[in-house]
Amino acid sequence: MPLIAVLPGDGIGPEVTTQACRVLEALDLGLAFEEAPVGGAAYFSDGHPLPERTLDLARRADALLFGAVGDPRGDNLERHLRPEQAILGLRKELELFANLRPARLFPGLEDASTLKTEVASAIDMVIVREVNGDVYFGEKGMRTTAGGRREGYDIMSYDEDEVARIARVGFETARVRNRKVCSVDKANVLETSQLWRDVVIEVARDYADVELTHMYVDNAAMQLVRNPGQFDVILTGNLFGDILSDQASMCAGSIGMLPSATLGRSGKGLYEPIHGSAPDIAGQGKANPCATILSAAMLLRYSLGMEDAADRVEAAVTAALVSGARTADLGGSLSTAEMGDAVLRAL
Ligand code: IPM
Ligand code: MG
């Protein structure tokens, strides 16, 4: 029986994961669920954002369904105890390095996008973001300069193996889509990016059937709002991918709609909405559960090989939206649970 680790986390995390679990349970696939705390919730219950018992469950599980982490009460904690360390720690500890963030506009959500309908409706891309390296994991700290001034620093680096393995994921992803990879970097300024570009070009030799282009990240940010339909697969590093995926989500209607999968070498994966814990609306039943429900669909597809069940969940979300079901972020008035009901009815 496949074991799903349910890690609700902070803020709206518990509300949205509850709805995703309802959907998974309704499919009656014989899944086992086990819950553990992460993030600020775990810090306040267990004294650490990623307690040993949570890590142990994560290691045993076949897949992880993750809500969100982030709690303003944690902002002044030492960095290694902050809620965000839970997600960073899970990605690193389980060597889940490839974060896939599909962005497309669901039919009926044209008006939710801030872009013109004809621009927004062309959005159908996957951002393939590396999440085990980059400036996120380099040496960092605070120090005092010779002149007695405070200085903060974070070292950005990638080695060639890290770049090559994410590049392969990017090309493989493009192969089952429209065979176009746009690698995003800042090679005009950063050595890390120059190596990134060199290695991506080397790996591309094994993928002659995929078209490779390169774009500087500032231009990519501009192109995402100018003509997002040009992108099929965006391949990029941890920091640029973090920023561009939030931007892409909003172009596609709402950050409440975008799921993600983080994969490694084995079938195990971590599935989470790309949005954060939204402390301002936590506990009010306002959050859109669709991104988490769609993350559960990715879990079925990538970790459990249950393609049909994944298709059913995605079709149910689409049908619920077509029938007019909308949470506040989409201009509607349904609560989190009512949106879950609408998806369940469509299932
Ligand atoms: C994301 C989030 C995380 C990240 C935070 C919570 C550490 O923004 O998954 O996009 O920066 O990777
Ligand atoms: Mg982010």
Q: Is the pLDDT of residue 113 over 90?
A: no
- What are the structural domains, with CATH classification, of the chain? 1-105+255-347 (3.40.718.10), 114-251 (3.40.718.10)
Task: Report percent pLDDT > 70 for the chain.
Answer: 100
Q: Is the pLDDT of residue 299 over 90?
A: yes
Distance CA 293, CA 251 (A): 20
Please name which ligand lies nearest the alpha carbon of 85: 1
Identify whether 186 is a catalytic site residue.
yes
Q: How confident is the model at residue 253 (pLDDT cuts 50, 70, 90)?
A: confident
Asked whether 269 and 262 are in contact (CB, 8 A), the reply is yes
pLDDT, one tens digit per residue, over 217-226 is 999 999 999 9
pLDDT, one tens digit per residue, over 17-66 is 999 999 999 999 999 999 999 999 999 999 999 999 999 999 999 999 99
Ligand 1 pocket residue status of 115, Cβ below 6 Å: no
Q: Which atom of ligand 1 is nearest to the CA of 245?
A: 10
pLDDT, one tens digit per residue, over 308-341 is 999 999 999 999 999 999 999 999 999 999 999 9
Residue among 66, 96, 101, 242 to mutate when testing ligand 1 (max atoms within 8 A of CB) = 242
> How is residue 240 written in tokens?
């640029």
Gap from CA of 209 to ligand 2 centroid (Å): 31
What pLDDT is stored for residue 277 in this prediction? 97
For strand 124-130 and strand 233-236, is the pairing parallel, antiparallel, or unpaired? parallel
Gap from CA of 259 to ligand 1 centroid (Å): 13
What pLDDT is stored for residue 255 in this prediction? 86
Residue among 69, 80, 87 to mutate when testing ligand 1 (max atoms within 8 A of CB) = 87
Helix/strand/coil for 4: strand
What pLDDT is stored for residue 293 in this prediction? 98
Distance CA 166, CA 20 (A): 28
- In this prediction the pTM is 0.95
What pLDDT is stored for residue 343 in this prediction? 98
Give the residue carrying structure tokens 């939710």.
Answer: 112
- Residue 53 CB partners (closer than 8 Å, separation 6+): 36, 46
Distance CA 303, CA 311 (A): 14
Identify whether 218 is a catalytic site residue.
yes
Ligand 1 pocket residue status of 84, Cβ below 6 Å: yes
Task: Report percent pLDDT > 90 for the chain.
Answer: 94
Ligand 1 pocket residue status of 87, Cβ below 6 Å: yes
Q: How confident is the model at residue 107 (pLDDT cuts 50, 70, 90)?
A: confident
pLDDT, one tens digit per residue, over 158-211 is 999 999 999 999 999 999 999 999 999 999 999 999 999 999 999 999 999 999
Gap from CA of 131 to ligand 1 centroid (Å): 9
